Structure 1
Amino acid sequence: IPEDVREMAVPVIAHRMVVEPQARFAGVTTVGLVEEILAKVPMPS
């Protein structure tokens, strides 16, 4: 993922996601989910 896309992903995507109540209670956040996904997607070489 290009750096500019990575920088904008959290503010653009996180507010469109909904976390189930059980996950929220466990401390899961939409921001955390987007950051976790970005960490798993390799940067193009």
Structure 2
Amino acid sequence: MKEDKKMVCQIVTFLLWPVIIALSYFLCAAAVKRFERNHGTGVED
């Protein structure tokens, strides 16, 4: 029973990581866009 719980935790973590990373990336991109729009700097990489 203990091993099952451990496996479930690993699966949940494995499934959630991409979601967390995608959300972080999306929020960061949105913040950068908003910052650029507010300050009007057309700086490109």
Higher relative contact order (CA 8 A, sep 6+): 1
Q: Say yes or no: TM over 0.5.
A: no
Query: Which structure would you say has the larger Rg?
Result: 2
TM-score, normalised on structure 2? 0.28
Give the TM-score normalised by the residue count of structure 1.
0.28
**Structure that is richer in helix per residue:** 2
